Amino acid sequence: MADKKKRRRQNPDDDDDGTQPFKHLLKSDEDILKTLKSFPSSSAAASSSSSSSKPLTLADLSLSTTCREVADLSLSSVQSAIETLVLQLTHQILSGQGFSFSVPSRASSNQLYVPELDRIVLKDKSTLRPFAHISSVRKSTITAKILSLVHQLCLKSIHVTKRDLFYTDVKLFQDQTQSDAVLDDVSCMLGCTRSSLNVIAAEKGVVVGRLIFSDNGDMIDCTKMGMGGKAIPPNIDRVGDMQSDALFVLLVEKDAAYIRLAEDRFYNRFPCIIVTAKGQPDVATRLFLRKMKMELKLPVLALVDSDPYGLKILSVYGCGSKNMSYDSANLTTPDIKWLGIRPSDLDKYKIPEQCRLPMTEQDIKTGKDLLEEDFVKKNPGWVEELNLMVKTKQKAEIQALSSFGFQYLSEVYLPLKLQQQDWL
């Protein structure tokens, strides 16, 4: 290795040939493209047994427990749902039963992983939130306030952020976690997605590559977005008309790898759409990814760090977060493939020891917890990789590939992965 490094310093121009392992295995781009073109069909074949081409719904399954799911509703439906609810409440009060909301429980005891759907859903337990009780008077007042604010948004047909909602009555909400939590309650109560409420999260994702879509009426061509890419819109309901000649979607965990691929215009060498939420998946990016998958019927390949958080991020895109399990049907993208960096890649691609990091106690605990999760257990390949990670106690970021040269990711690692169809 020391010898190789010396050579690289002397001839920086040709280090690609000297020190980039496995470059000799690469076939011509033409050959790899042929492999890629078999993707959509093979993926469709694979997914007919899982959940992507003809998506199963809760209703298709005869589950022993009743489950609750929300749907995308139009603004006017949300408005009338609120009005109906308020009328019911009025009747309750007039009939002497008092003022009380029935709120679906979002606790983990009320959550269920449904293997057939490969996502977490909410069971049907509800709790009462009476106004005339010392322990719930504040929360029921907040609930009424949030309902009234959402009703205003329906009438005005505008979008606001959670922070905006909070600031309409700081004295009542006290801190934003309280208005946020009730907002999720209101979604469940009305049976609609949070986006249907016109409350949006700040955008943070970007997209670049072989995709054309409309954002609020403007046509966006993501091959013409330079290196910066297009910011993913915060409100998915104004996104439409997706067109693409891509063969797959490359979902990237972090922006450093995204920048490398965008500058190298990787999507022109291998037609694809590159998307990243720059870390933790935000709601806007999750909705956008799902929309691409559903409308374009493309396989989604994920490039994440080889650590428990990389897999956790992948699982949030794929199966949903526990916090928003009531909306998993709309937020999750079925059948995401784990392309890399996988624990087995560290040895396979000879990632140097000094680029691997020892896992902390917390890392190892998170890894072991993941092994207990149903959505991991379901995929034997993932279990095997995760076991290897926990056993070797080593992790590595995507950037660790830079030790073979800055462009190793785009020039050798990814093409080889695609050529070998090496995903799980």
Binding residues for Mg(2+): 253, 305
350 binds a copy of itself (CB under 8 A): no
- Least separation, in Å, of the C-beta of 381 and a copy of itself? 26
**165-184 footprint of a copy of itself as x/- string (CB under 8 A):** xxxxxxx-------------
Sole window of 189-197, 289-297, 317-325, 353-361 interacting with a copy of itself (rule: CB under 8 A) = 353-361
Sole window of 197-205, 266-274, 340-348, 358-366 interacting with a copy of itself (rule: CB under 8 A) = 197-205
160 binds a copy of itself (CB under 8 A): yes
Q: How far apart are CA 70 and CA 289, in angstroms?
A: 19
* Residue 328 CB partners (closer than 8 Å, separation 6+): 69, 117, 119, 120, 121, 319, 320
400 binds a copy of itself (CB under 8 A): yes
The residue ranges of DSSP E strands in 279-413, in sequence order, are: 300-303, 336-340, 357-358, 394-395
Size of the site for a copy of itself (CB under 8 A): 68
* Binding test (CB under 8 A) with a copy of itself, winner from 4, 34, 91, 238: 238
233 binds a copy of itself (CB under 8 A): yes
* Binding test (CB under 8 A) with a copy of itself, winner from 6, 34, 156, 348: 156
Whether 296 contacts 91, CB under 8 Å: no
Question: What does the CA dihedral 226, 231, 232, 237 come to, rounded to 10 degrees?
Answer: -110
- Helix, strand, coil percent content, the chain, rounded in steps of 5: 55, 15, 30
- 31, two tokens: 């050959």
86 binds a copy of itself (CB under 8 A): no
HSE-up of residue 127 (Cα within 13 Å, Cβ side): 11
**254-293 footprint of a copy of itself as x/- string (CB under 8 A):** -xx--xx--xx-------------x---------------
406 binds a copy of itself (CB under 8 A): yes
The residue ranges of DSSP E strands in 30-154, in sequence order, are: 67-68, 100-104, 111-114, 119-123, 126-130
- Least separation, in Å, of the C-beta of 125 and a copy of itself? 31
Give the active site residues. Answer: 167
Cβ neighbour number for residue 311 with a 10 Å cutoff: 26
* Binding test (CB under 8 A) with a copy of itself, winner from 58, 225, 371, 383: 225
| Long-range own/partner contacts, residues 157-161 (CB < 8 A, 24 or more apart) | 157/75, 157/198, 158/198, 159/198, 159/199, 159/200, 159/234, 159/235, 160/198, 160/199, 160/200, 161/199, 161/200, 161/201, 161/202
- Least separation, in Å, of the C-beta of 206 and a copy of itself? 5
The binding site for a copy of itself (CB under 8 A) comprises 9, 12-13, 15, 148, 151-153, 155-156, 158-161, 163-171, 200, 202-204, 206, 214-220, 223-235, 238-239, 255-256, 259-260, 263-264, 278, 354-355, 357, 397, 399-403, 406-407
